[in-house]
Amino acid sequence: MTAPLRGEPPRGEGSTPSHANAVRLRRLNRWQAETLREDLADLYVESSRAQAGQEYRGREAFLRRLTGDIRRAGFALLIAEDSAFAGCAYGFPVPREGTWWRGFHGTLPQSVEQLTASGHVFAITEIVVHPHTDDQDLARRLQQRLLADHHASLGATLVDQADAPAYDALLSWGWQDIGSIRRPSDSMVLRPSAPVLLRALILPLGPRTAARPDGLAHENRTQRPD
């Protein structure tokens, strides 16, 4: 997850549910996502914390990530809109052979490995929320809808360990840090193989029980057919 995430206040005093309800979530197919690439990149730049002069590099890196993910099997994108684009989130099902976890340091938790093999893990690779939206819970709504639409038992994402705001926001929403992964950096144009250290986060969606307080349950009855 390399898009900027905004820390969001809890619901309650100061929240604006009437405005939140006005922000609609809409699914886009691959063709629509391709058509709106430039608009989504503009949204990313407007929502980013990039320093002056870095917007172009950030925009190009976003477009490379989006283009690569659109080509993946099962790609899905949600757009949030009111009078204009307010945010977006996209990702794809993690391949059962476990290539998503390549470069993981140490031993992958057994439950995560099992859920991956059964096709129940969905990777959210980008969440973008415009800073001026009135929906203070929009990022959380986007991630929940994306995972629910794909009947996922586990969400997965990668966060640059230097991106403290994104990392802290995800942890506050219930994501769990399970370790680190080294991957090539998509922003290193001159040295595309240069590795970057990312934190691997998961969002368990199973029931929390005394036996499984982390919600990481592998349930054979929920396996989808091949």
Q: What are the pLDDT digits (tens) for 22-31? A: 889 999 999 9
Of 63, 46, 64, the residue nearest 55 (C-alpha):
46
pLDDT of res. 209: 43
Q: How far apart are the first and last CA of the chain?
A: 28
pLDDT of res. 95: 95
pLDDT of res. 196: 83
% of the chain surpassing 90 pLDDT: 55
Q: Judge: domain 17-222, CATH 3.30.2010.10.
A: no
pLDDT of res. 114: 95
Per-residue pLDDT of the chain (226 residues; tens, 9 = 90+): 644 444 444 333 343 444 445 889 999 999 999 999 999 999 999 888 766 677 888 899 999 999 999 999 999 999 999 888 999 999 999 999 999 999 999 999 999 999 999 999 999 999 999 988 877 789 999 999 999 999 999 999 999 888 898 899 899 888 999 999 998 765 434 345 567 889 999 999 865 544 454 555 544 433 333 3
pLDDT of res. 55: 81
pLDDT of res. 104: 95
pLDDT of res. 195: 77
Q: In the chain, where are the structural domains located?
A: 17-222
Phi, psi of 224 (to 5 degrees): -85, 150
pLDDT of res. 217: 53
Rounded to two decimals, the pTM is 0.80
Q: What's the chain look like in SS3? A: CCCCCCCCCCCCCCCCHHHHHHCEEEEECHHHHHHCHHHHHHHHHHHCCCCCCCHHHHHHHHHHHHHHHHCCCCCEEEEEECCCEEEEEEEEECCCCCHHHCCECCCCCHHHHHHHHCCCEEEEEEEEECCCCCCCCHHHHHHHHHHHHCCCCEEEEEEECCCHHHHHHHHHCCCEEEEEEEEECCCCCCCCCCEEEEEEEEEECCCCCCCCCCCCCCCHHHCCCC
